[in-house]
Structure 1
Amino acid sequence: MAEQTNSSQEYTLELSILMPCLNEAETLGICIEKAQKSLRELDIVGEVIIADNGSTDGSQDIATRMGARVVPVVVKGYGSALMGGIMAARGVYIIMGDADDSYDFSNLGPFVEKLRGGWDLVMGNRFQGGIKPGAMPPLHKYLGNPALTRIGQLFFSSPAGDFNCGLRGFRRESILKLDLQTTGMEFAGEMVVKASIYKLRVAEVPTVLSPDGRSRPPHLRTWRDGWRNLRFMLVYSPRWLFLYPGAALMIVGLIIVVWLLPGPQKIGSISFDVHTLLYGAIAIIIGFQAVTFAFFTKLFAISEKLLPEDPKLNKIFRYITLETGLMVGTALLLIGIVGSFLSLTIWSETAFGTLDPFKTLRLVIPSLTCLTVGLQMVLSSFFLSVLGLKRSSNN
């Protein structure tokens, strides 16, 4: 593992400039030189930390020779390297950036100014500062980064306008409290997501992105790392992953069922009957399951300290209790049983012979829907009460 220090250590420096490193011998020297120049010009007592993730090209020797502090990090991954460096840093503030000479470490004054002003996280914004020709692939510039940024803003009300900018500064103590867990490229996104969720003060400064100074391909893998970032944001937002899609399915399904329950309907020359009714019923069932998953995920994440307590959720659970769920679920089960009994009675009138499906399914489908949702509600209520045991014992 990395060289580690206690998170509550006494800070001995104002600023640590942190660079993750994996075979960056081509550009590491110029990045360290620029960072040291920045410390001198800003008259800051600080350090340059190289979080080395197992380089085999002599990067460690370059860093040591230039006066930087090398922190070995055994666990592979961009996030692992950064976390190892953060834990080992002695600065009140940390500014992190890639060691490929794409970010200008000699111009850190705006970051320091914001950090001294009380901001917890100061993000660089490459779209405001400028992206030099060849510095960012068109797919990243016009689709990947803007899309992930918009999703982050929508899901988490993040103020960041460039979600994946690698140059950023933060108060070490504030970021350690977020208990960041990811080990790969999604670490940068996790930091912004959790900073937004936990209501840290987040600011931005324009940042220029230059072409990568290395001759080899970057460590970033477009589709793999893009998916990992998107996956993380979805998992951390049960509302958008489960609740909103589930609620939409239930509403659409309920509208279809109510519309077709009296009989077939026509829109223009198109006729809708029991087949569409069945799709509506399935939408209700799947939608209800998705909504319950949203509550399961949220409660589990809160109990595991992955997400903070949600006052809105606490207010909901004052009214939605185990007993409430059991009563509503039981009522739906009874409605389904009554409907099924009526269907059986209708069938018996034909001596259990052939029935007209267009008539009988109009009763059978809603009955089965009530039975399914009712049973789901009863089981979900018990499961939610189990998830809530730890929370209720702590209150």
Structure 2
Amino acid sequence: MKTLTSVALAALLAASPVHAANNDPVVLVHGFLGFGTDTFASTGFKYWGGFNDIAAHMRAGGRPVFTAAVGPVSSNWDRAVELYYQIKGGCADYGARHAAEHAAAGHIQKPAGKCWAADAANNPNNYPLALYPQWDAQHPVHFVSHSQGGQTIRTLLQLMENGPPNGAGSEGDGALYAGDKAGWVKSATTISSPHNGTTLRDVVVDFVPKVSELAGAFVQVAGLGGSGGTGYKFRLEQYGLAQGPLESISDYVARTRGAPFWQLANRDAAQWDLGPDGAAQLNEWVKTSPNVYYFSIGSRATEQGSWCCNNTDRVIAPFQDRAYQYPRNDMIFFLKNAAGEWVVPSVLQRGMGSYRAADWYANDGVVNTNSMRGPAGQPQRQFNGTAQKGSWNYLGYYDQHDHFDVIGWDAPPSMVSPIYDKLLGILSGL
């Protein structure tokens, strides 16, 4: 049975100072291959909580909590655009220059199918309702994100406060690109996020088959069988790759896999942003705002190699080297094959546990633990009970927790709820 072993983390979280509580809404932002609350409605499986419900748990104290759903394989720019309009209302505008730069891959600036209504009483097209249309500096939000969601909220904050990197007007007249939206976000929390990328992107050579495999595994975990499920959607309308209402994951990938979007040369996709090189490029222009409280939480589910008697999976890694890291027995099944010294099965393809430098070896099955603290070269500090704006307040990492334990997929509420209870305690005091 997994236990909370990061005592220092628990102590730091519990040490948050008492201030006048705020009740500003929380917006939950999922990671790579994530999905919305209605994707697996037939089984009740949720991204945030698995067969439990983290959002509902967080609402128990009366705080509004919204769950966003953005493109599961899209770039952080595209996801940030969708997140903005999904909260505020309106139709996604991916930017004139951005769409033009990726026109060869089929990018559309203002595609159909990406609109949200700000006013339920004035919604002739029956768009989904925006999450929080009153969002502004007088009605700020707290972002809580997992995995790639951390990169996404950072990208959105940069665009909101400073406009596009190529200057005012370069992306057209979309509301997002005007900048000057400081104060709209009170805090940004990232959980197991690849701020400096993940080596999983590099060790997985065949990207498209792996996407299909992982999405199929999600469907399986949700209790709907393998990749034949039709509820999961890739949301790539901005690339002209809309998915049919009854089109399965495997059928969709088979139909579209020749599209330029899926090629590794495409740098407007999650597969680029999530790698160390893509993350470094993102970090060059996405900076830490002096107006926002930032918090980061990590996770780890590997152990140092040993000739015997550790808690790693000896079927995956029967022979081990003390210099490397190996997946624990309790890591969720579909992550183990790439988390250790070698990708299993492969012909001498190094896994996350031995790829790059030694400080990158420890991981949670998806993201290297050292990448979760904050973006390299930007202000970071160990949280000591008092939060500082404009710096990453690192809350430590949860040991024996894989990438999906921290969002409740393979862990009981007694193990998961304290993570969010303690975080809410900090946010309430800001």
Shorter-chain TM-score: which interval? under 0.3
Q: TM-score if structure 2 supplies the norm length?
A: 0.25
Structure number with the bigger relative contact order (C-alpha 8 A, sep ≥ 6) is: 2
- Higher share in helix: 1
